[in-house]
Amino acid sequence: MATRSGTPLQDFGAQSPGLESDTSYAAVHLLQKDENLDASDQKFLLSSDIDGPPEAAEGIVTDWRKIALKVLLSLVGFVTLTFLIEHFANDAVTRWSKAFINKIGMPGLFIGVFLFDGLPQPFTYVPLIFMAVKGGVSKLAVFATCMMASYSAALCGYMAGSFLRGPDWGRQLFAILEEKYPQAPDLMRRKGAIGVLLAAMLPVPLAAATWTAGFFSVDVPSFLVAALGRCPKIAVFVALSTGPAAEHAGS
């Protein structure tokens, strides 16, 4: 029986030092499975943990504004860089891109995108998309390869997060991930699979969302749909990427 004093929740945090801050996140997951909780206890814990004070709501609005600004800046930066390349270094970049894509091939593109989206890290695979298109690969092939790689990475990320729930070192690792990417756990707590969908479309490392979804046992069928959220983002960058220079197009 979980009570407002939180004994079972304290036990969860005590199993792994340094995870006391995760107790509120685990509470939401545990409450969903504990049918014996009094309604008043559920209301107290959930309202205090999820709704939060007005200051917290204002912080969330601010975070979303920052995310929207990042999205806008990333698109503007990509278009600007593409414009500059087209006018000042198109031939050279086309040669480099063709050499690069000929060396790694489509399997290399798949592996690259899979690693970028499968591991929690801050870098993006957008340059791979640009170089593949600039190297002469059809946009449809680039989109299909990147989308399959990203979706595969999402599935593996969910399984990795599920595994981290078991061992103490796994929960400690998740605590580090949560500290580095606090937006992802917050999205999972508040939105569940919708949080995965939002994270997939935004400039947030996909692995941070998928690993967190697995850790919190987000509904699997819903997750499988939400993981497709990377599709619009990949499509936009593929569409904005320009093909090879005219003199290299047929070579």
Average pLDDT by consecutive 10-residue portion of the chain (251 residues)?
A: 44 44 42 43 38 42 64 78 81 90 94 93 89 94 96 95 88 83 74 80 81 89 90 91 68 53
Q: How many CB atoms lie within 10 A of CB 237?
A: 23
Question: Backbone dihedral region of 28: left (phi > 0), alpha (psi from -120 to 50 degrees) or beta?
Answer: alpha
Q: pTM for the complete prediction?
A: 0.66
**Rounded CA separation 184/67 (Å):** 13
**Rounded CA separation 209/158 (Å):** 9
Buried b / exposed e over 69-89, threshold 16 CB at 10 Å, is: eeeeebeeebeeebeebeeee
CA within 13 Å, CB half, 151: 15
Question: What pLDDT, on a 0 to 100 scale, did the predictor assign at position 221?
Answer: 92
Question: What pLDDT, on a 0 to 100 scale, did the predictor assign at position 41?
Answer: 41
The closest of 164, 160, 229 to 193, measured between CA atoms, is 229
SS3 category, 121: coil
Q: Which tokens is 250 given?
A: 């047929």
DSSP for 154-177? Answer: HHHHHHHHHHHTSSHHHHHHHHHH
